[in-house]
Chain A
Amino acid sequence: MNNSVSVGIAVQADWDNRHFSNSLSLNVRRLFEFLLQFETSTKSKLATLNEKLTVLERQLEYLEAQFNTANSGQF
């Protein structure tokens, strides 16, 4: 009987501890998930930005080529 009682007490303590550790791990996971979401969201935005820059770059190249036709030999 004593055995059973001591097991019972240990189990009880275990439940409490696990409650704490579970909450902790869950919140760490949530933080992590948030970071992942942050990353994907950032990636989307950066990709859009990147695309805009690429287009601008190409336009610049075009303008440069145009400019050079008028300036060949001078620079």
Chain B
Amino acid sequence: MAVPVEEAVSGLSTFSLEVSPHLPDELNIFLSDWTIHSPNEYVTCRLRDEQPDIQGLAVSLLSGWMATESPIAYDDVQAYQLQLLDDTKSITQLNNLITEGRDMVSILYTYRSCVKALPQLPESMKQNQTDLYRETYQVLDTEIGRLREIKSWQNTASSKLAADMQRFSRTDRRINGPTVTHMWGMLKLLDILLQLDHLKNAKASIPNDFSWYKRTFTQVSTEWKDSDSMREELDDLQIFLSTRWIILLNLQVELFRVNNVEDILQVLMLFCLESLESDRVLLYSERHVLLRVLPVVVILATSSVKEGDQVFKKIKINRLIRIFRRDPVVPAFPDLHIAPASMLKELSPYFRSKYQREYSILNHIPAIRAAHDDFCLRFAAAVNQLQLLKLAKEADDALTAQVKEEICLVVVEGFQLLSEWTGRVWEQCAWKFSRPAKDAQPYDNNTPLTDYEKVVRCNYSIIERKALLELTSYIKGVGTMMEKVDTLVADTIWETVHAQVQDFVQNKLAVMLRTTFRKKKEISRILTNMRTISADWMGNASSEQAATAKKPKEDTTPVTFRPRPAAPTAAQLHCLQFLIHELVTGGAPKKAGGFFGSGDTEIPSADMKLLENFFNRLAFFPHILDYRATLVHVSDLGFLWFREFYLETSKVIQFPIECSLPWMLADHIIESQDAGLLESVLMPFDVYNDSAEYALRVLKQRFLYDEIEAEVDLCFDQLVYKLSEHMFAYYKSCAASKSLDLAFINGVENHDKYTVFPRRYEALFKMRHFQLLGRSIDLAFLLAQRINKIFRENFEYLLERFESQDICHVVELQRLVEILKATHELLSEHLTLDSFALIMSEVMENISLISFSGRLASQIFQEIQNDLLPNFILCNTTQRFVRSIKSSQRPQRRPPIPHAKSSFMCGSHDLNAAHLTISELYSKFFGLPHMFAVLKLLGSRSMPWLVRALLDHLSQKLSLLEGRVDELLEVLPKAISIPAPTLGVTGCLKIYKDQLHWGTDYEHKIEVLHSLKEIGSLIFWMSLLDTAMREAETVHFMQVVPWLGVVPGSEAQMQQLLDDDGNSGLVSLFKAASAAVASDPDTQNPQSFVTMAKQAEVADILYVNNLQTGSTLDYTLAYLSAILDSVRQRWNSPSKSGLIEITTSREFHRIYSGVQFVFCGEQLEENETNQEQFGDAVAWGGCTIVYLLGQHLRFELLDFSYHVLTVGESEVNPGAHSIPDKISKTHNISAELVRFLESARKARRLNSHVFTMLRARFPHEEKLAALVKQSGTVVHRIKYPSTASAFDTLPAKGSMEGMNGYESEVILS
């Protein structure tokens, strides 16, 4: 050898990608994954790719069939000098015919009717009919031209095949052959002819188009001169097209003409039978060829009864029958099958039983599953062993050989399994096509089912779909697994094949030569030939000589030889096959029974066994050597998509995707929600890949590819859409399920429905370069994009839903937003989504930097303004607002609740129900939970806006009230005398009633009450908000304080403990950490840690300043007080003397007293009490204004209702609680009075509560007042502190009489 192999090889394999020192740091890190330094590393190196293998072989670079079909058309066979020249020529000729024939078959298979597309002329254009005919003729002529070609081609093919058969059939033949390859050639050509015939029979559009063509021809040809010959030709073509099986009949005639072909036909028949009976055929496609051809051969061989008898004397008919029975349906085309029985009418009585078990994958799936699991384990183990072996420096020869042998075995087994599985899918399809679903119901009531729907859409039950999917995944999975190790195992396989061939020719044959066949010249010649053509002595001249010199018998030690990664060529294998065949049949193939095991006396059975084994193995070798091509072939499921025949019979352009098997499978995975199948969801798309490949490379039809592409586009969109919806729903329900109370889930009976079972979407989230029709698709990106959109849609829906309901549903909204947020968190682990805050502010429409309101904030404000304040009443006891009785409601117009998928709520129906039940609890009132919800939803951004808006509303309401109060002030009588307690309750009430006409008769009194109620409601709302905010802030405070070093100080004040350097804990911690990190020389980027320390300082400042925040309620009260300043002059008129004006006061509290008197005494609406209509908010409003005007003490002193109540109380036992009851029992008083007293008592209790609260929250400054001492002297301007409510410190009854006089006494006592 002139070229040093090792050097060249190592030169090639020391490929390395060095990291350049000039690249920036990040890029270096980026590239360092890919650095390879040594060849060994290179072999085993797997680049890091996050994507899981859940796709089949999408793209495969094929180096062609190098061993199965000789790349140089067996030109090198001559070199072996076996006199196979004629045979080789025939093989080449046959192969050419087969290639041409395949093209013809694909033309016929993909033929679509042109006539259907022809336009009809409208009446107005009838004069142009001839033009139309001419155009039509031209269009159809090209198509019919192809048919003509087919017709002439089949003629040539038949005659060539017949001649070929005849040449190799003579018993006294002078030429060698036919070889096994040759026989395959004949069989394949026969198969092509059969397929053509079958297609011609099945395609109705061809005769259709032809008859149209003929009609236009008669129209057009009138203008031509010599059209007779053409017409004749047309007639011929018509006969060709309309006669069934004409190609086969033609062939039969040809064979009959050349005669003498019975021998070869018998040989072929035997070959088929043997191959089918043994497991010599590796590929399912070859097995199908044999199954299809066998009946043809039988028909040809038994063209007459006599011949038939002759044939069946030698070949037992039972063998044939067994095969035909076992496979009654044979796939021929993707959507068309062949039934041998129907071709063999004479044999048909044998083939009537049903064979469902045989075909349905469902019945095989458990076995397939077990085989798959077992194989995967063993394959992985074998590959592992091989990798270890390659890494090992020194390896034991025996172990090496064993490992390599094992690799070869698993590879063969893998091919066998894949071939068997893919064959099963083909066969199941064919079987399904032969048995359309009979009782299928149409999916759409208006349109009946098409034939294709009957055989595909309705013909696969759910479990069948699942089984098919599982099998598809196995095929694709094993295919991918084997493809990954292609280059790893390639040399091992070569070595093993080489070793096996060498072992046979150098050892086994040597032994045979020396022992058995020593005397038999002819046989030893063949054996020597075998050695000559394939032995590789590797310069081991001694063994070469030893072999030729025929050493003495006793030297029987086997020859050892070095393993060599060089595979035998196609020609070598071909010749070896031929020679063994020749040897076994002894040059007379016509023997009965078959090739091996026919009881030939010349070869002993042990040697025969050896030969047969090797012969069988020879059939496998080419396929193993063509590793990748075989792999692609046996894992090709593209046929599942094709439906040319059904398109034709259904007279539609294309079927919808629901009828398409690949999409049916994908859809089944998505819809069935079967967690086990989820990772296979991309497998059906591999089927599309295969189909596209088949359409382009085999059928060579662009329009088919376009159709597939269009379907894939549609399906893929659907897939992304559906997948993202399901993923979202799944994670939503996970989030919703987690947010349910654990105790509740444990306690509930049927708690399974609230738990979400895990589904493995993780693999799909990692699909970064999914291969589809040659494109690389970033599935994760598409999913993220879609899910981002869903989040926005969902949020939008939640807001719309809230907008169509009242403010009480804010709790529900908040819960749903929380769940949505949790969903976002869960999904963010896998996908890169927009931040939730961003989505939220986008949907809430508060992106703007200068506007603080938002969609939700303004909605809440509107609800408060238009619904909560006017239509709800406050219940002071429960601290809630509830909706008042219908009649007094201001009607609200809201949009209807939008309908939504369950995924937009909580994910699943059951979870929706559970969460709705919880939310339902909060849907009838507005209280503290709602306030928390509002606070959480609006956050610190929009909350101030809302408070501001409400305060503005408050001032509006007050200005409304102002007018009314002024009107009342005008009608207020000069003096209202206080009736003496001696008059009794009834008397007091009567006197007041007389004096308070101005109030009771006032036309706008209800309006005044409403205004007061709304003001009160607002103040109460603020106090609720204050409570909620306090709580939230306290939590925040507790979380922040330890970091800032704040501790309780000496006088219950906060005190910040600072570190030595004057920093808080947080800052010093970060500073110390960043200093430590920066000092470490290994740190790559110390700057970022310094930045972090700076940020800590900023955070410190921000948090410290936020520790002490104000109270909303205090602010509201201050605000209200400020508004009241404008009316304070008019409503607050203290007497000039400084003493209290008891009867003539014209202050606001008088007006309010009047209003309260009306409120207590009069029923303002017919069907409801004042309490039901206005609630407790009137007192809140009135008392707050009174308090802020500084009149609360005078109000409590002088109020009309209080006075009546006090008188009433003094009449009965002062200690009693239920005074009105007692009064009504003891004193026979009217019910009206009882009601008044009850209301007044309630009002007094409520008022005092409000005053207490106000005093606590908004203490008045110490005020000056005048004091009249008991001695009668007046002390002007005395300071008195603001105290608790007067009624809390009210003196007992004894001292009560004295209190009527002066306020000061009350204060000072």
Q: How far is the CB of A24 from chain B (nearest CB, A)?
A: 7
Majority SS at the chain A contact face: helix
| Pairwise interchain contact A66-B848, C-beta atoms closer than 8 A | yes
Q: How far is the CB of B71 from chain A (nearest CB, A)?
A: 12
| Pairwise interchain contact B566-A65, C-beta atoms closer than 8 A | no
CA distance A69 to B845 in the complex (A): 12
| Stretch touching chain A among B46-54, B650-658, B918-926 | B46-54
A-B contact count (CB 8 A): 144
| Pairwise interchain contact A58-B49, C-beta atoms closer than 8 A | no
Residue B186 at the A interface, CB < 8 A? no
CA distance A65 to B564 in the complex (A): 70
Residue B451 at the A interface, CB < 8 A? no
CA distance A1 to B48 in the complex (A): 59
- List A residues 5-56 near B (Cβ within 8 Å): 5, 7-8, 10-12, 14-16, 18-20, 22-34, 36-38, 40-41, 43-45, 47-48, 50-52, 54-55
| Stretch touching chain A among B528-536, B635-643, B880-888, B1153-1161 | B528-536
| Pairwise interchain contact B15-A7, C-beta atoms closer than 8 A | no
CA distance A13 to B780 in the complex (A): 54
| Pairwise interchain contact B494-A43, C-beta atoms closer than 8 A | no
Question: Cβ of B63: which chain A residues have Cβ within 8 Å of it?
Answer: 25, 29
| Pairwise interchain contact B850-A44, C-beta atoms closer than 8 A | no
Given known pairs A27-B13, A65-B847, the reply for A40 and B5 (CB within 8 Å) is: no
Question: Cβ of A66: which chain B residues have Cβ within 8 Å of it?
Answer: 847-849
CA distance A49 to B209 in the complex (A): 56
Residue A4 at the B interface, CB < 8 A? yes
- List B residues 531-554 near A (Cβ within 8 Å): 532-539, 544, 548
| Pairwise interchain contact B849-A44, C-beta atoms closer than 8 A | no
Partner of B565, one of A22, A31, A52: A22
Residue A3 at the B interface, CB < 8 A? yes
Q: How far is the CB of A35 from chain B (nearest CB, A)?
A: 10
Q: How far is the CB of B38 from chain A (nearest CB, A)?
A: 13
Residue B42 at the A interface, CB < 8 A? yes
Partner of B851, one of A18, A32, A69: A69
Partner of A45, one of B3, B30, B851: B30
CA distance A52 to B26 in the complex (A): 16
Given known pairs A29-B63, A30-B42, A58-B834, the reply for A8 and B544 (CB within 8 Å) is: yes
Residue B75 at the A interface, CB < 8 A? no
Q: Which of A25, A28, A44, A45 has the most CB of B within 10 A?
A: A44
| Interface size range of chain A in the complex | 35 or more
Question: Interface 1/0s, chain B 2-23, versus A by CB < 8 A?
Answer: 0101001100110100000000
Given known pairs A23-B8, A41-B33, A41-B34, the reply for A3 and B81 (CB within 8 Å) is: yes
Partner of A26, one of B45, B491, B849: B491
CA distance A34 to B486 in the complex (A): 12
Q: How far is the CB of A6 from chain B (nearest CB, A)?
A: 9
Closest to B487 in A: A30
Q: Which of B42, B49, B528, B535 has the most CB of A within 10 A?
A: B49
Q: How far is the CB of B54 from chain A (nearest CB, A)?
A: 14
| Pairwise interchain contact B8-A31, C-beta atoms closer than 8 A | no
Question: Cβ of B528: which chain A residues have Cβ within 8 Å of it?
Answer: 4
Question: Cβ of A16: which chain B residues have Cβ within 8 Å of it?
Answer: 1
Question: Cβ of B8: which chain A residues have Cβ within 8 Å of it?
Answer: 20, 23-24
Question: Cβ of A65: which chain B residues have Cβ within 8 Å of it?
Answer: 847
Closest to A22 in B: B566
Q: Which of A30, A32, A43, A67 has the most CB of B within 10 A?
A: A30
Q: Which of B9, B13, B486, B566 has the most CB of A within 10 A?
A: B566
| Pairwise interchain contact A11-B535, C-beta atoms closer than 8 A | yes
Closest to B76 in A: A14
CA distance A16 to B851 in the complex (A): 84
Question: Cβ of A5: which chain B residues have Cβ within 8 Å of it?
Answer: 548
Residue B148 at the A interface, CB < 8 A? no
Question: Interface 1/0s, chain B 777-801, versus A by CB < 8 A?
Answer: 0101100100000000000000000
Question: Cβ of B81: which chain A residues have Cβ within 8 Å of it?
Answer: 3-4, 7
Question: Cβ of A11: which chain B residues have Cβ within 8 Å of it?
Answer: 80, 532-536
CA distance A23 to B838 in the complex (A): 58
Question: Interface 1/0s, chain B 496-538, versus A by CB < 8 A?
Answer: 0000000000000000000000000000000011001111111
Question: Cβ of B537: which chain A residues have Cβ within 8 Å of it?
Answer: 12
Question: Cβ of B842: which chain A residues have Cβ within 8 Å of it?
Answer: 62
Given known pairs A7-B533, A65-B847, the reply for A44 and B49 (CB within 8 Å) is: yes
Residue B776 at the A interface, CB < 8 A? yes
| Pairwise interchain contact A69-B12, C-beta atoms closer than 8 A | no
Interface residue count for B (Cβ, 8 Å)? 65
Question: Cβ of B565: which chain A residues have Cβ within 8 Å of it?
Answer: 19, 22-23, 26
Partner of B566, one of A15, A43, A69: A15
| Pairwise interchain contact B535-A27, C-beta atoms closer than 8 A | no
Q: How far is the CB of B368 from chain A (nearest CB, A)?
A: 30
Residue B43 at the A interface, CB < 8 A? yes
Question: Cβ of A15: which chain B residues have Cβ within 8 Å of it?
Answer: 536, 538, 564, 566
Residue B490 at the A interface, CB < 8 A? yes
Q: How far is the CB of B578 from chain A (nearest CB, A)?
A: 15
Question: Cβ of B9: which chain A residues have Cβ within 8 Å of it?
Answer: 23-24, 27
Question: Cβ of B768: which chain A residues have Cβ within 8 Å of it?
Answer: 43-44, 47-48
CA distance A44 to B48 in the complex (A): 9
| Pairwise interchain contact A44-B50, C-beta atoms closer than 8 A | yes
Partner of B847, one of A10, A22, A43, A62: A62
CA distance A50 to B486 in the complex (A): 32
Partner of B569, one of A18, A30, A48, A54: A18
Given known pairs A18-B567, A59-B838, A70-B849, the reply for A29 and B490 (CB within 8 Å) is: yes
Q: Which of B34, B36, B43, B47 has the most CB of A within 10 A?
A: B47
Question: Interface 1/0s, chain B 825-846, versus A by CB < 8 A?
Answer: 0000000101100100010000
Residue B769 at the A interface, CB < 8 A? yes
Closest to B571 in A: A14
Partner of B849, one of A7, A33, A67: A67
CA distance A15 to B1233 in the complex (A): 126
Residue B305 at the A interface, CB < 8 A? no
Closest to B66 in A: A25
CA distance A38 to B544 in the complex (A): 47
Residue B117 at the A interface, CB < 8 A? no
Question: Cβ of A52: which chain B residues have Cβ within 8 Å of it?
Answer: 832
Closest to A29 in B: B487
Partner of B12, one of A27, A67, A70: A27
| Pairwise interchain contact A47-B566, C-beta atoms closer than 8 A | no
CA distance A59 to B839 in the complex (A): 10
CA distance A7 to B534 in the complex (A): 10
Question: Cβ of A8: which chain B residues have Cβ within 8 Å of it?
Answer: 532, 535, 544
| Pairwise interchain contact A22-B567, C-beta atoms closer than 8 A | yes
Q: How far is the CB of B941 from chain A (nearest CB, A)?
A: 12
| Pairwise interchain contact A47-B847, C-beta atoms closer than 8 A | no
Residue B79 at the A interface, CB < 8 A? yes
Question: Cβ of B539: which chain A residues have Cβ within 8 Å of it?
Answer: 12
Q: How far is the CB of A71 from chain B (nearest CB, A)?
A: 9
Q: Which of B486, B780, B849 has the most CB of A within 10 A?
A: B849
Partner of B781, one of A23, A28, A51, A67: A51
CA distance A52 to B784 in the complex (A): 12
Residue B377 at the A interface, CB < 8 A? no
CA distance A27 to B490 in the complex (A): 10
In order of increasing CB-CB distance, the 5 nearest A-B pairs are A69-B848, A19-B566, A27-B12, A41-B47, A43-B769
Q: Sample 28 A-B pairs with CB under 8 A, ordered by A number.
A: A5-B548, A7-B81, A12-B537, A14-B569, A15-B536, A18-B567, A19-B564, A22-B565, A24-B12, A29-B486, A29-B487, A30-B42, A33-B487, A34-B15, A34-B42, A34-B45, A38-B47, A40-B47, A40-B49, A41-B49, A43-B769, A43-B776, A44-B49, A44-B768, A47-B781, A51-B778, A58-B834, A69-B850
Given A5-B548, A62-B842, A67-B849, 19 more contacts at CB 8 Å?
A4-B529, A4-B532, A7-B533, A15-B564, A16-B1, A18-B569, A20-B1, A22-B566, A24-B8, A30-B13, A31-B15, A34-B42, A34-B45, A37-B47, A47-B769, A51-B780, A51-B781, A58-B838, A70-B848
